[in-house]
Amino acid sequence: MLWSKYFLPTLKEIPIGTEAVSHQLSLRAGLVHMLSAGVYCYLPLGLRVLKRVENIIREEMNNAGAHELFLTCLQPIDLWQRTGRDKTLAEVMIRFKDNKGKQMCLGPTHEEVITDLVRTYVQSYRQLPVTLYQIQSKFRDELRTRFGIVRACEFIMKDAYSFDVDKEGLNKNYQLMYQAYKNIFKRCGLNPIIVEADSGAMGGDLSHEFLITAPIGEDHVVQCSSCLDAQGLKEGFQEGSKCSKCGNGTLQKQVAIELGHIFQLGTKYSDSLEALYLDVDGKRKPIIMGCYGIGVSRMIAAIIEASHDQAGIIWPSQVAPFDVEILPLQANDPESMSLAQNYYQEFLKSGIEALMDDRDETAGRKFNDADLIGVPWKIIIGKRKLAEGLVELKSRKTQEVIVLRKEELVAKVRELLSKV
């Protein structure tokens, strides 16, 4: 992608009214645009990051045996009335009447819809187990939107649902999802704290949260300073008390962002919506369910919170919008621009995602924008070095500079990216 042809508006100044680093940098780096409080548009650079995160999620969900579908955002209220959650989520549910006078809502979540779908098509134990997932927008009329895309009125979520004949099957699927979540977060450059949690309005008797510590979090976890064992914050907790697991460290309260939550729902929804199957003896029984959610758009903010410096974002390689950025420092130098174009074409042929800053801007502006948007590797082409047949390859994360013969550059980039 050529910067001069790309829609990539960057900002020098911190936008007024932004508290969180992730909110500031996502606006300054041209990832998102705020249409109104809690409502965001994804610009081309932000959409590239979003798609890379989604692809990682898809790969891990597919590997765990889940099948992707796409459910409707429009949901009839009578489904919610049957589970009683029209009252539980009344404060955040966006409701309206359609032109026929039917009460509808924009889906804040999809347990009712997926249960109704499976109830329609699954009648026998022979059709189970099955796990279905989607990556879909959710809508919640939040009273207090905060921290940009961390708490928004419209957000993107991956929600998966398992359907089993018994608790043993649920436990198996639950462990598959537990491991898939660990894989997803690791590939996205995150090291989550995993704690057993309250199931809340979702229901069920077991759930786990996946959180990362960050100053803008709205959750709290307790973690040992020595063994790093973590747990949810409980009533009566005393800061600095001894860890009961290792006996060495002290317990500290930390602020955290919830990124994912998995639940063993049991029959809460299948009972209410009559999602039944015929067992091997011909008896009708409720399907056993699990539910598994990840805040996809929220993950982008979490990655920025976990990986940035004063200059801007430092993207982990697997979620970066581009693999490399080519910076010919003198746009009016034919030799520099010719070499930059050659590199760009080579990367295109190799399937390496490259952004080339071909703008007629100062070297300082190009460096500042490159650090702001956080592409993992910068290829720096300057007249002085090029006169000696040399170019520079600079790591955004470590700031290490590798000086190479110009003809060695492409092979070196391939080598580095192959290790990701």
| Angle separating helix axes 167-187 and 44-63, nearest 10 degrees | 140
Domain assignment present for residue 262? The answer is yes
pLDDT for res 235: 74
274 plus 340 within the same structural domain: no
Mean of per-residue pLDDT scores for the chain: 95
pLDDT for res 96: 97
- Kindly tell me if the per-residue pLDDT of 200 is higher than 70: no
Cβ atoms of 138 and 108 closer than 8 Å: yes
Instruction: Report the CATH number at residue 369.
Output: 3.40.50.800
96 plus 122 within the same structural domain: yes
64 plus 201 within the same structural domain: yes
Query: How far is C-alpha 321 from the geometric centre of its chain's CA atoms?
Result: 14
269 plus 405 within the same structural domain: no
How far is the C-alpha of 271 from the C-alpha of 3, rounded, in Å? 55
141 plus 41 within the same structural domain: yes
Domain assignment present for residue 235? The answer is no
Domain assignment present for residue 315? The answer is no
Place of tokens 């992730």: 22
- Kindly tell me if the per-residue pLDDT of 199 is higher than 70: no
pLDDT for res 18: 92
Q: How many helices (H) and strands (E) would you count in the chain?
A: 12, 23
The pLDDT of 298-303, averaged and rounded, is 96
Report pLDDT digits (tens) over 246-293: 888 898 898 999 999 999 999 999 999 999 999 999 999 999 999 999
User: CA neighbours within 13 Å on the CB side: how many for 315?
Assistant: 31
Instruction: Report the CATH number at residue 175.
Output: 3.30.930.10
pLDDT for res 201: 63
Higher per-residue confidence, 335 vs 201: 335
Domain of 195, in residue numbers = 7-220+253-309
pLDDT for res 216: 87
Cβ atoms of 60 and 45 closer than 8 Å: no
38 plus 60 within the same structural domain: yes
Higher per-residue confidence, 251 vs 235: 251
Q: Which helix (H) or strand (E) holds 185?
A: helix 167-187
**Parallel, antiparallel, or unpaired for β 67-68 and 130-139?**
parallel
Question: What are the tokens at 276?
Answer: 């039944």
Domain assignment present for residue 122? The answer is yes
- Report CA-CA distances (Å) from 272 to 79, 95, 160, 269, 302: 9, 21, 19, 5, 36
138 plus 266 within the same structural domain: yes
Final residue in a domain of this structure, among 309, 330, 345: 309
- Kindly tell me if the per-residue pLDDT of 233 is higher than 90: no
Q: pLDDT-derived band of residue 90, with 50, 70 and 90 as boundaries?
A: very high
The tally of domains found in the chain comes to: 2
124 plus 259 within the same structural domain: yes
Domain assignment present for residue 47? The answer is yes
pLDDT for res 140: 96
Domain assignment present for residue 92? The answer is yes
Question: What are the tokens at 205?
Answer: 């008797």
Higher per-residue confidence, 204 vs 306: 306
* Of 190, 180, 137, nearest in space to 299 by CA: 190
- Kindly tell me if the per-residue pLDDT of 366 is higher than 90: yes
The pLDDT of 324-331, averaged and rounded, is 96
